[in-house]
């Protein structure tokens, strides 16, 4: 694998992890949301998917961000009988986003992003050193 290929592969990883962090940020922003109507559904957590594809031009596998998948877990119930969106028992359906899980996913995506940056930096450094050796 040459330097250019490793840079393209790392850039693909950066794009995928950036998109993953964007989806996680959306989940965190909607963690405390309720439905718009009394019987409607609140925000449903989205899960980012990462696909691995073979790029013929590069001759290497690269990752891409796939379509987000809706998390089908149950919504949280919060007792709030004064809320206009409460059911007959006084419970309001809340989003199924768990902020602790989202923060852990965000940290994992951030570390993967940083790893791809380090790969790009290492490839750039090796390329610069190779050019310096060729000048001598």
Give the pLDDT confidence score for residue 20 in this predicted structure.
97
Q: How many domains does the chain have?
A: 1
Half-sphere exposure of residue 129, counting CA atoms within 13 Å on the CB side?
Answer: 7
| pTM score, whole prediction | 0.87
pLDDT in tens, 19-31: 999 999 999 999 9
Give the pLDDT confidence score for residue 14 in this predicted structure.
96
Averaged over 71-82, what is the pLDDT?
92
The yes-or-no verdict on residue 136 having pLDDT over 90 is: no
Q: DSSP label at 34?
A: B
Give pairs for 114-118: CB < 8 Å, separation 24+.
Answer: 115/13, 116/10, 116/11, 116/13, 116/14, 116/17, 117/10, 117/14
Note down the domain range covering 63. 3-135
pLDDT in tens, 82-103: 888 888 888 899 999 999 999 9
């Amino acid at each position: 694998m040459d330097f250019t290929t490793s840079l393209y592969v790392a850039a693909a990883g950066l794009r995928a992890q950036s998109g993953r962090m964007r989806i996680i940020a959306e989940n965190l922003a909607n963690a405390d949301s309720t439905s718009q109507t009394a019987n409607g559904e609140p925000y449903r957590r989205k899960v980012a998917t990462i696909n691995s594809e073979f790029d013929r031009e590069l001759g290497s596998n690269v990752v891409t961000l796939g379509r987000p998948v809706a998390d089908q877990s149950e919504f949280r119930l919060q007792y709030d009988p004064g809320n206009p969106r409460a059911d007959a028992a006084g419970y309001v359906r809340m989003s199924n986003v768990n902020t602790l899980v989202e923060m852990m996913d965000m940290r994992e995506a951030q570390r993967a992003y940083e790893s791809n940056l380090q790969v790009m930096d290492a490839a750039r450094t090796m390329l610069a050193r190779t050019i310096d050796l060729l000048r001598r």
